[in-house]
Each structure stands twice: as structure tokens, then as C-alpha cells.
Amino acid sequence: MPSQSPTTRLGSIAASKVPVLLLKTRSTPIDAYEEILKRPETTIGRYSREFDPRFIPVLRHRFDDDGMQRTKSLLQANGIGNQPGCKYGGLIFTSQRAVEAFAKVVNDEKGGDNVVFHFPPNTPIYSVGPATTRALRAIRTEPPLQVFGEHTGNGETLATFIMEHYGHWYRDRESLPPLLFLVGEQRRDVIPRTLMDPALPQNERITVDEEVVYGTGVMESFPDEFESVLNETRYESERWVVVFSPTGCDTMLCGLGLLDQNGGKASLDHRDGKTFIATIGPTTRAHLVNRFGFEPDVCAESPSPDGILHGIAKFTSSHA
């Protein structure tokens, strides 16, 4: 089959559902990407589109038993909350996997499906964006978790928001209580570094303790599963691959027949004109560009389902 330019005009695309290959594990109990992409109809430019999201896990996540137990012990001892004597005044989440770990701890403590977990009232929970926020709000507690930061979208913006919001929340305290940050083994340090910056006045500095509640490894099944879905969708007139991290980018490019095995760079001449690549944000885009010389078709302006959808919409409209 002769190669085509990745900028093939999309005006003649059939009305069938467009496969969207999400290189991630499906989040539980809900996945915001699946929710948005499975809407009955999405208008993009002059076209109404329907999408068929497919999850292809790249990373293997496992709960960290020690971190989970320490978090459980804190909850049992009422160590998190807006009350005198609590060790932590709130929680930070920047990962849906951390939310899943927290949800498991809460559900284990509930002792049954019909039991509601009683969480200390007026305790701020900080979330990096809409997907993480949705997952947090799905956890059944009484009263419901008070989640803030949905609008932020990245760690830098969330840290800035926390500095203002948390200080106001505990404005009557002589010193700000520490925050507990539930994280994975691999994470950026921008939030602790920003909130504990020695240059800040002492009364504005916020201590952040990190608790590792999950670990990450490479999913051995990814190459075969990716190849299988590519084969299933090979006759579609359009399909998208959404990349969520630098891990697996080489396997993704190899599966698409774009990786030059000799030099380790992408061979752009082999693009098929119907398979388009979107990245969740600038970090993954930079990895593709710097490591493989490959410029993705879309880099989401915000690391969220809406950001991906808007990126696809903008690309589709400009190439229709």
C-alpha cells in the first residue's frame, strides 16, 4: 500500500465510529476518557463524529502494601482532617492510580457495599484536573469529599492554587498543618518543591509528606495487544492513537511501522495517512520529538479528556 501524507484531507471520512486507541489502563470505577468518547455524537467542525475508545494498557500498576497500610492507619486514627490534633490538614492527588489506592483503603474500611465511610468534614482534597476529580467524587463518603483544583490541569498550577486556597482555609491557625500527597513510585517533585520553597515566609510554607501507594512497571502484553487492535482497525478510514507517557513510545512507533531499527528514529515516509497520534501533554510530545524525531499530530492543550477531544477537533477541522 503506497504511503500517504499524514495531512490527508478528512472530508471524505465515513460515518462509522472512529477508533481511538488509548494507551492506558481503564480507570475505575469510571474512566473520564471513555465517558466523553462514548457520547452518542460529537460535533467536530462541520462533521458529527462517533468514537470507539479502546484501552491498551502500557503500564502495570500495583498497590504498595506498606503505603496503603500507613494510609489506612491514618484514617483509623482520624489523622487526616480539619480538627485539632490531626496530623494532616488535607490530601493531594495528581494521579487516578493514587485515587484508586485511596478508594480501596476507604472501601476496605467501610466493611460493606451499603456502608458509607465517615470522612472528617471540612477537609480540603486537592486534585490536579477533571479526570482525577471525577474519580475522587465517585468515592462514597459522608459528608462527600470536598475536592478543589479541578480547573488546574497540571502540578505547577495546582501548587500555586494550593498556596492561596490552603492558607485561606486555615487562616485562623498559627501555622499551616501539613498536607499528605498520595503518589506513585515515579512522580515529579514540583508540588512539594513549590509548597516547601525555603524562599517562602515561614507562615506561608506548607509541609508536604509523600506516601507511595502504588508502583509502576511495563506491561509485557502491550506489544501484542497493540498489534492486535491495529490489525482489527486496519480497514478503518481514520483512527487515533492517544499516548499518555513516554513509556511505550518506541513500541507504539514500532507497531505502526514508523521506527527505523538502525538509527532509532521515526521514518515519516511510512505514515499511512489515516493513523493520527495525539499526546496528553508537552512532556510526552517532547519525548517523541527529541528521542525519535517524530512530531505528533496533536498535543492536548490541557491534560484531560476535553483537551484530547478539542485537539482532535482542531486537527480535523483544519484538514477537512
The CATH topology of domain 18-58+219-319 is: Rossmann fold (3.40.50)
CA–CA distance, 152 with 137 (Å, rounded to integer): 17
pLDDT of residue 3: 41
Residue closest to 195 by CA, chosen among 179, 212, 211: 179
pLDDT bin (cut points 50, 70, 90) of residue 12 is very low
Q: Quote the DSSP letter at residue 314.
A: H
pLDDT of residue 258: 93
One fold for both 18-58+219-319 and 62-217? yes
Residue closest to 80 by CA, chosen among 35, 141, 21: 141
pLDDT of residue 8: 47
Pairing of strands 59-63, 42-44: unpaired
CA–CA distance, 33 with 49 (Å, rounded to integer): 15
pLDDT bin (cut points 50, 70, 90) of residue 299 is very high
- Look at domain 62-217 and name its CATH class: alpha beta
Backbone angles phi, psi at 54, to 5 degrees: -125, 130
CA–CA distance, 12 with 141 (Å, rounded to integer): 49
Question: In the block, which residue shows the cell 494510609?
Answer: 71
Could you tell me the pTM of the whole model?
Answer: 0.64
Q: Quote the DSSP letter at residue 185.
A: S
166, HSE (Cβ side, Cα atoms, 13 Å):
30
Question: In the block, which residue shows the cell 512530531?
Answer: 295
| Domain residue ranges of the chain, discontinuous segments joined by + | 18-58+219-319, 62-217
Mean of per-residue pLDDT scores for the chain: 87
